[in-house]
Amino acid sequence: MPLQRIALIGYRGTGKTTVARQLAALLGWDWVDADVEVELRAGKSIAAIFADDGEAAFRDLEAAVVAELCGRARVVLALGGGAVLREESRSAVAGCDAVVWLRAPVEEIERRLGGDPTTAGRRPNLTNSGGRQEIERLLAVRTPIYAACATVVVDTEGKSPAEVAAEIVAAVPDI
């Protein structure tokens, strides 16, 4: 049976949204950015959700969105960097036909986030330190979770989004 759902996971700045768009175009599928869906439902940015309601409220809404998105067909999902932190979200993601972990080194993530003018306004720091220290700390916690969820791992450093999408197509059978 052909695949119906591909979820892209990984730390922010690894290219999930851009690659989801490219991959969906290759497959003739839809794509959805879970963070954008959360913002649409909340009527405010993720940073505002964190500031107004706290991280727990954000994660509650995120878990509901992830569960719904993982039920769609012929879709590439770009999940938020922390979407797999909650067990219920990991269970929903496990229902996808392929879970692709997009990776990049800390230096590359830091460079990409620094070059994205929307990062600061839309996404809050998740630790007091921010920057490189935050990336290193959160990756230390999240890397084993990403690894446990992933059915495919793709390194994105030095590759265009089109190259990453093509690598995913080659690595995932039955697309």
Is 173 inside any structural domain?
no
Q: What is the value of pTM for the model shown?
A: 0.91
Is 41 inside any structural domain?
yes
Q: What b-and-e string marks burial along 87-101, b requiring 16 or more CB atoms within 10 Å of the CB?
A: eebbebbeebbbbbb
Is 48 inside any structural domain?
yes
Distance, in Å, from the CA atom of 100 to the CA atom of 107, rounded to the nearest integer, reads 21
User: pLDDT for 16-61, tens place per residue?
Assistant: 999 999 999 999 999 999 999 999 999 999 989 999 999 999 999 9
Is 171 inside any structural domain?
no
**CATH number (domain holding residue 113):** 3.40.50.300
Number of independent structural domains in the chain: 1
Is 128 inside any structural domain?
yes
Distance, in Å, from the CA atom of 46 to the CA atom of 40, rounded to the nearest integer, reads 10
Is 170 inside any structural domain?
no
Nearest alpha-carbon partner for 123 in 114, 92, 149: 114
The shares of helix, strand and coil residues in the chain, as percent rounded to the nearest 5, are: 55, 15, 30
Is 99 inside any structural domain?
yes
| Domain extent at residue 159 | 5-165
Is 175 inside any structural domain?
no
User: pLDDT for 64-99, tens place per residue?
Assistant: 999 999 999 999 999 999 999 999 999 999 999 999
